[in-house]
Amino acid sequence: MKKNKLLGFVSGFICLALALPSIGSAKTPPATAEAFAAAPSISKVSISADGNRIAFGYTTATEETQVRVLDLPSKKTVGVSVGDKKLRGLYFEDGGDILITASDTIRGFGPKSEIFRTFSFDFETANIRNLLATGGMVREYNSGVRLHSLLPDAPNRVIMSAYDVNNSDLISLNLYEVATNGVQVVTKALGNSNTVDWITDRSGSPLARVDHDPQRMTTKLFLLGENKQYWEALKLDNTPNEGISLMGLSRQGRIIFSKPFESEFGELFSMDPKTGATTTFLRADGTELESVFRDPWSDVVIGVSVGGLEPMDQMISPDLQAAQGTLEATFPDKMVSITDTTQDRKKIVARIETPSTPPEYVMLNVDGPKLTRLGEAYPGLKDVPMGRLQAMTFKARDGAEIPVYVTLPPGDQDIKNAPTIIFPHGGPESRDEPRFDYWSQFMATRGYVVIQPQFRGSTGFGKAHRLAGYRQWGKRMQDDVSDAVAWAVKEGLSDPKRVCIVGGSYGGYAALAGATLTPDLYRCVVSVAGVADLPRMIEQEKAAAGTARAANVNYWSDHIGADDRAAMEAASPRRLADQVRAPILLMHGRDDTVVRFEQSTIMANALKAAGKPYKFVELKGEDHWLSRTETRQQMLTELEAFLREHLGPGVN
């Protein structure tokens, strides 16, 4: 088994601008694949409890990922190299240590999996500690290590969970209080084999846990009684995957949670941690409730994100509402996302962006001076003309209104009869948002119209829209994607003879389904980490889980419709390779733990056997999310060459 490399200490001065070389050509596009693929030069920006220090992910000129910490009063900067790991999150705890969450793809007890670890970094001594990763092989090689609470009243201590043995010698998700010096670990609570989540009060004492039984398909919420015994406060039946999510606390200390929403647009519930009495905390009306923001210092729910064609963040706390308003007034017509605050909320860190403007980070000082610009995420794309995004809807063949985002090539010219890329999102229970997206902008800056249909099955547009995608792989979901082509052609936007379909993950499946189920519709097809064989995918999920009744197996079986094997086979592109007419580009990360690399190899083999044109590109060392700069650049370079060969040049 592969051992993780320790994070390495570095020191230096802050430099938020990253110079990127350009690649010359006879007709140079606005920015190179290298510029679009570059890792953000500043990311994951966090601020300390007292506001004196800023921590952020930083990419050096040699593409090394570091975490850097800037002490604002002294201007001193120190940092730590993330090495070959992938940076996933940054947090300060109340004592001033920086908590670094990073992941690595490793093989532990079974197939490769993405292992997340939390490290603490001491600014003063530069000591680095790997938290809660010692104490046996089970704890070292599991993906359940999670940071739960920063314990605002206990400096240099945090609450974490990890899978380990319990008193019954069973593997369970247990709760621990961990000293950030990496030495002391105190067991706060032991779970059982079905435990999936915990929540604690401000002092770190457990309030509740959630158990999910994938065999019986039940989810239960247990409260800790005065006798230190857990009692069942809520039970949900018919939950093939986890049915209760612990979201945080109210200002009064009540537990805020969600469950499969019975309302059309979503609901949060509030539970008394002593009696279990439950009321509605927040109910969305007209626009879907998508996510929750939690104050890291108190675990109090402070805001929500709502969906629709133009999603937005809405703060609950009056002080953060005021800060949001100030930032939106300062940056009109831009998306403002509050990402962190000091403990007293006098300093606010926010990300500012538009679909055509790469993100930048700023700090709002409520007491003045008002605004400090912290850095741009993609300085190599500064002042590069970007595509113009339009949000609208179209009617599907059955009359349903389908939301869609259209990104037009840069410039103010009227676009007609243009070469077009249909770009369905992954998930499929996911969505696109009108934020800066390097992939769609890369294609738009090559002169292509990029169309992103929010087909049925997508989130963000209500319960009915989401549920309409269940058991519709290759059917209604795919029809919506095809109908986006017909709509764009009818509108005069797209040339019907110059349409390609490009997608990743589920979008990769939709691309391959387009090539096999509607072979006359597309001139070329690109699948990145796409699913090619649905029965094989279910088998792979069972093998990875070690059982036919795990939450993820239940989910995919339910969503795809695993009880109808004939339907799964009929919707599997690998089994329909003889229908393909357009050339296909397959790309897949070798370390993909979500859609296994084998899905693309079996598609390539089927295309080869059928004598169909294809190219298969292995992205070495890459995961499902294209986390590596080198392979992200490889993907974009291959994509650009393939589109130019088969779709032709874009709009000038």
pLDDT tens sequence across 89-114: 999 998 999 999 998 888 766 678 88
Residues in the chain: 652
Pair 499, 524: CB distance under 8 Å: no
Three-state secondary structure call for residue 486? helix
Pick from 55, 197, 216, 36: which is nearest to 120 by CA? 55
Which residues partner with 526 through β-bridges? 502, 585
Pick from 538, 612, 551, 560: which is nearest to 582 by CA? 612
**Counts for the chain of helices (H) and strands (E), in that order:** 12, 36
Measured CA to CA, the distance from residue 387 to residue 366 in angstroms comes to 35
DSSP calls for 244-287: -EEEEE-TTSPEEEE-S-SSSS-EEEEE-TTT--EEEEEE--SS
Looking at residue 547, its pLDDT comes to 76
Please return the burial class of 362, using the count of CB atoms within 10 Å of its CB with bins 0-12, 13-18 and 19+.
buried
Pair 350, 339: CB distance under 8 Å: yes
pLDDT along the chain (652 residues), means of 10: 40 32 40 93 94 93 88 92 89 93 78 85 89 71 79 91 83 92 90 94 94 94 93 94 93 94 89 97 93 93 95 93 95 95 96 96 91 94 94 97 97 92 97 96 97 98 96 97 98 97 98 98 98 96 81 92 95 98 97 95 98 97 92 97 95 80
Looking at residue 88, its pLDDT comes to 92
Measured CA to CA, the distance from residue 496 to residue 519 in angstroms comes to 13
Measured CA to CA, the distance from residue 505 to residue 501 in angstroms comes to 13
Please return the burial class of 294, using the count of CB atoms within 10 Å of its CB with bins 0-12, 13-18 and 19+.
middle
Place of tokens 């088994």: 1
Place of tokens 């300060």: 92
Sign of CA dihedral 82, 85, 90, 94: negative
**Could you tell me whether strands 157-165 and 171-179 are parallel, antiparallel, or unpaired per DSSP bridges?**
antiparallel
Ramachandran region, residue 387 (left: φ > 0; alpha: ψ -120 to 50; beta: rest): beta
CATH class of the 388-533+572-647 domain in this structure: alpha beta
Q: What's the pTM value of the predicted model, to 2 decimals?
A: 0.91
Looking at residue 22, its pLDDT comes to 32
Looking at residue 551, its pLDDT comes to 86
CA Rg value for the chain = 25
Amino acid identity, position 629? T
Pair 177, 121: CB distance under 8 Å: no
